[in-house]
Amino acid sequence: MQSETGPAGVVTEPTPARASRRARLRRIMIFLAATLGPGFITASAGNDVGGIFTYSVAGAQFGYKAIWPLIPIAVALIVVQEMAARMGAVTGKGLAALIREEFGVRIALATMLGLFFMNTFTTSAEFAGIASASEIYHISRYIAVPLSLLLVFFAVLRVSGKLIERTFVVLSLVYVTYIISGALAHPDWAEVARGSFIPTIDTHDPAYLGTIVALIGTTISPYMQFYLQSAIVEKGTRPSGLLALRIDVTNGSILAIIVAAFMIIANAATIFVYNQAHAAHPITVTQASDVAIALAPLAGKFASSLFAFGILNAGLFTAAVLPLSTSYLVCEAFGFEAALDRSFREAPVFFTLFAAGLLLGAALVLIPGAPLLQLSIASQVVQGLLLPAELVLMLIIINRARVMGTFRNTYSANVICWATVVIVGLIALYYTYTQIVAAL
Amino acid sequence: MPFQEGYLSEFVGRDAVLASDASHRSVGKVVDFFVAKPDDAFPKIDGLLVKTQGGERFAPVRDVLDIDARGAIVLRAAPTEPAPADDVSLYLIKDLFDKQIVDVDGRKVVRINDLEVANTGGTLRVVAADIGVAGLLRRLGLNKFAPQLLERVPRTLIAWDNVAPISDANPSQVNLSVSSARLARLHPSELADIIGELSSQDAARVVGSLDDETAADAFEHLDADTQQAIIADLGEDRAADIIEEMDSDDAADLLGELDEDQRAALLAKIEDRDYADELEELVEYAPDTAGGLMTTDFVWIYPHRTTAATIAKLREIAPESEFIYYLYVADDSRKLLGVISLRTLLLALPTAFIHKLMDADIVSVAPDTSAEDVASTIARYDLLAVPVLDDERRMLGIVTVDDAIDAIIPEKIAHSLPRLVRHHARRPPVAK
């Protein structure tokens, strides 16, 4: 304020502590944000349609012995997610940007092509979930898929992303029904414990190896690392916030694994156990609605509806997020304009990639006779096959002092992650080999 | 200098050979280019970095004689000098290739795909950054497989004097002063858009390189989250300097978002103690009321002066003041007596007295008047600003028309993008 008498403040009584009320509101917001942290949300997003189908079929087909792989997978998941979170907090850059800056155009292009292919395939798994849900109600997929495509377009372009995300996370509570249903099915808990902690490898069933690869691919999906790191960069978390971040990531991962384990248990206790007893007339799992039986101990005749709701929620959310985030990542790596509030003319690459990912994903499901369940699981197998490549890139970057400073990987994180690369890599190579041999 | 112009990607990886060796055996590969003074509008390339068996060696540009038939770079003498240290100079490939820069002319954050260099009167200079698809394709080697095809891809080049690099990892690598001078050419709201597009680490670095006034102008257009992230990185001393340059209403909004300890620490660092006291009072008001919107930056004058004397006084005090279109007439008790517009003041006779000219019929609001009511008052009476008075009609501040508009225009729906992607999005002006 300027005055003729020189600088002099205007003195008034301060109004009752409004500022402290604002500060309190802020603290509540921080608390909410911490409980719904990026790690938690990413883990929930990992329970997409491909995940639900993979866990369900694994439980139905192989029983409780499909649980034990989840334990080493959980360890790897926590380590890998922590790495992505740390890279985001330390560098303030997304994984796609780091890969471009550290490895140049060629590797960035290869990575982005792989990511686009993989994510589009997974998008089709999401539409497969939507189609399966509609077919439970005898609605043709040729009506349901185009309708949901329109819904997703509208949601992405018009509705707040935060709102979509929150709605999804709340609706994801539906997966708790698997925990209840698994318990109500009265599984033989001794069998469950044995299946969880004693590793057994089924060498007779050729489908076993594929199931393992799909379990790895759906639990440690490559896109989840990109998603988590971007979320942390967007949140602006700093290395000083790493402890909270680690807690968030660990909680999210453990929760995701528990839900996954109970999806397997619920299916094993119903379908697998029934098939053991009725070998003559087994329940054959050929389409998605078959695995809805796993929810019958809880929901009875409403099992199908509950199941349909679950996969519809997962399918719609992931279909809304995946093509969009893929498009952002590609544009981030190559420096193209990317923002939903631009016009098509301003950001042509961004909108083209987004539309292409979404439409291709939906189109794959609309091929007449496309087997929805198998297609979904195949997309998770592809994720498992490409995971080692992503982990190698992450490992190289996270061990560079120039990028990470004192936040480079610890020895134990390196050992666990390299072990994951080698083991998953060997399984992936062997699986690919058996597939090629089988095809010949 | 054997060539006129070209792209650096076409020279990286070539063999270096010696003129004295007739068989042109490779002595190493060209891996980078070295600039000693990156501040120039079009920086001069001083040398090549050649990776030899004995390690990385520096070859001055004047030693480059020719490019032979196989495409190898012919040097006058074997490169023997060790590579200059990283932190005193700029390596074009290592420090700039694939990195983000601000295109000051196009006002966006982009990535460098390639660099165009040209021979200008005997010196080799960086002239432009290639940020387009053609640059990407050239990096992928299309110029070797299908040069005709590459020719047909339209190029997107930014002249180097419009490029503001955002250095990372090692901030001393690139002198940011040139960046800040170029960024200061942008309108504050455009600069804020660009800062909003950067990661918070980069944003803090860019803001840190700006002068206080430019930083303050840009800060006023940033949303609260970005402001806080940057303040945390800048440190209290620098943050207080910037806050001191901000309009009081924006500064108070910023301070109101901080926790009490942080706010107290920042206020303590503000040099102008009176201004710090004013800010402390402003923070107490809710942000969506007249008290939260008002600025204390107004001019008040005595009623018993002549217009000539008032104008003379105004020349003295007004340069510091943003809003001088209305002058507020008050006595020593600070009670508002009337308002006079700059127009009335200028058009009146020099000998006329202020209290005869002023409008004593004052339209005002209370500090707890809602933002909507403030805006509709301003709209109804066609005002540029409305005074905020306490119960005893003492003047607390003014709400200007632009702040009132900002407060009532809803945020754009498109502002709310998925969490994954928000930081890339251009942020519309944030409603206060």
Closest-CA distance of chain A to residue B295, Å: 8
pLDDT digits (tens, 9 = 90+) for B225-276: 888 888 888 888 889 999 998 888 888 888 888 888 888 888 888 888 888 8
For residues A45 and B103, which has the higher predicted lDDT (pLDDT)?
A: B103
- pLDDT higher than 80, residue A1: no
Tell me, what's the pLDDT at B261? 86
**In a shared domain, residues B238 and B303:** no
Strands B163-165 and B100-103: antiparallel
Instruction: Give the best-scoring range by mean pLDDT among A218-222, B201-205, B328-332.
Output: A218-222
Cβ-Cβ contacts under 8 Å between A and B: the total is 185
Determine what percent of chain A falls in helix, strand and coil, rounding each to the nearest 5: 80, 0, 20
Tell me, what's the pLDDT at B392? 87
**In a shared domain, residues B274 and B209:** yes
**In a shared domain, residues B249 and B326:** no
Whether residue B398 lies inside any domain: the answer is yes
Correct CATH for A44-439 of 3.40.109.10, 1.10.3720.10, 2.102.10.10, 1.20.1740.10: 1.20.1740.10
Q: Which of B207, B296, B424 to mutate to test the interface with A (most CBs of A within 10 A)?
A: B424
- CB contact under 8 Å between A109 and B321, yes or no, is no
pLDDT digits (tens, 9 = 90+) for B144-159: 888 888 888 888 899 9
Residue B206 is part of which domain span?
186-284
Please report the ipTM that was assigned to this predicted complex.
0.79
Q: How far is CA A5 from CA A1, A57, A166, B159, in A?
A: 11, 83, 56, 52
Confidence category of residue A388, pLDDT binned at 50, 70, 90: very high
- Which structure tokens are listed for B170? 């090692």
Tell me, what's the pLDDT at B189? 86
**In a shared domain, residues B270 and B307:** no
Contacts of B100 in chain A (CB under 8 A): 97, 335
Query: For A78-89, what is the mean pLDDT?
Result: 95
- CB contact under 8 Å between A4 and B317, yes or no, is yes
Nearest neighbour of B298 by CB, restricted to A1, A159, A332: A1
User: Tokens 């790895």 correspond to what residue?
Assistant: A216
Whether residue B226 lies inside any domain: the answer is yes
- CB contact under 8 Å between A9 and B281, yes or no, is yes
Looking at chain A, the whole-number percentage of residues with pLDDT higher than 90 is 53
**In a shared domain, residues B386 and B313:** yes
Closest chain B residue to A25 measured between Cα atoms?
B257
> Contact, A400 vs A102, CB < 8 A?
yes
Whether residue B158 lies inside any domain: the answer is no
pTM for the model: 0.80
Q: Which of A5, A18, A159, A403 to mutate to test the interface with B (most CBs of B within 10 A)?
A: A18
Strands B26-35 and B15-18: antiparallel
φ/ψ of A4, rounded to 5, equals -70, -25
Q: How far apart are CA A361 and CA A118, in angstroms?
A: 10
Confidence category of residue A36, pLDDT binned at 50, 70, 90: low
- CB contact under 8 Å between A334 and B111, yes or no, is yes
CATH for B252? 1.25.60.10
Count of C-beta atoms within a 10 Å radius of residue B194: 22
- CB contact under 8 Å between B113 and A335, yes or no, is yes
Strands B73-75 and B15-18: parallel
pLDDT digits (tens, 9 = 90+) for A40-80: 888 777 788 999 999 999 999 999 999 999 999 999 999 99
Contacts of A41 in chain B (CB under 8 A): 419
Query: What total of structural domains would you count in chain B?
Result: 3
For A15-19, A66-70, A306-310, B226-230, which range has the lowest pLDDT when averaged over its residues?
Answer: A15-19
Closest-CA distance of chain A to residue B381, Å: 24
> Contact, B229 vs A236, CB < 8 A?
yes
Q: How far apart are CA A269 and CA A260, in angstroms?
A: 14
Whether residue B114 lies inside any domain: the answer is no
Query: For A255-283, what is the mean pLDDT?
Result: 90
Nearest neighbour of A14 by CB, restricted to B170, B284, B417: B284
Confidence category of residue A27, pLDDT binned at 50, 70, 90: low
What sign has the CA pseudo-torsion B80, B85, B90, B92?
positive
Q: How far is CA A95 from CA A179, B47, B213, B405, B419, in A?
A: 34, 33, 34, 39, 15
- Which structure tokens are listed for B16? 């270096």
pLDDT digits (tens, 9 = 90+) for B58-95: 999 888 888 888 888 899 888 888 887 766 678 889 88
Closest-CA distance of chain A to residue B19, Å: 32
Closest chain A residue to B397 measured between Cα atoms?
A1
Query: For B158-173, what is the mean pLDDT?
Result: 69
- CB contact under 8 Å between A337 and B277, yes or no, is no
Q: Which of B98, B300, B315 to mutate to test the interface with A (most CBs of A within 10 A)?
A: B98
Looking at chain A, the whole-number percentage of residues with pLDDT higher than 70 is 92
- CB contact under 8 Å between A233 and B199, yes or no, is yes
Tell me, what's the pLDDT at B328? 92
Whether residue B70 lies inside any domain: the answer is yes
- pLDDT higher than 50, residue A401: yes
Tell me, what's the pLDDT at B414? 35
Whether residue B387 lies inside any domain: the answer is yes
Q: Which of A4, A158, A227 to mutate to test the interface with B (most CBs of B within 10 A)?
A: A4
Whether residue B112 lies inside any domain: the answer is no
Tell me, what's the pLDDT at A123? 95
Q: Is A157 exposed, middle or buried (0-12, 13-18, 19+ CB in 10 A)?
A: middle
- CB contact under 8 Å between A162 and B419, yes or no, is yes
pLDDT digits (tens, 9 = 90+) for B192-218: 888 888 877 788 888 888 888 899 999
- pLDDT higher than 90, residue A290: no
Q: How far apart are CA B362 and CA B374, in angstroms?
A: 14
Whether residue B101 lies inside any domain: the answer is no
Tell me, what's the pLDDT at A5? 37
- pLDDT higher than 80, residue B296: yes
DSSP state of B93: I
Residue B148 host element (H or E): helix B147-152
Q: Is B133 exposed, middle or buried (0-12, 13-18, 19+ CB in 10 A)?
A: middle
Contacts of B422 in chain A (CB under 8 A): 161, 234
Among B135, B130, B126, CA closest to B103: B130
Q: How far apart are CA A201 and CA A211, in angstroms?
A: 12
Instruction: Give the best-scoring range by mean pLDDT among A81-85, A241-245, A321-325, A428-432.
Output: A81-85
pLDDT digits (tens, 9 = 90+) for A346-381: 889 999 999 999 999 999 999 998 888 889 999 999
**In a shared domain, residues B314 and B393:** yes
Closest chain B residue to A23 measured between Cα atoms?
B259
Tell me, what's the pLDDT at B425? 35
Q: How far apart are CA A120 and CA A354, in angstroms?
A: 10
Looking at chain B, the whole-number percentage of residues with pLDDT higher than 90 is 21
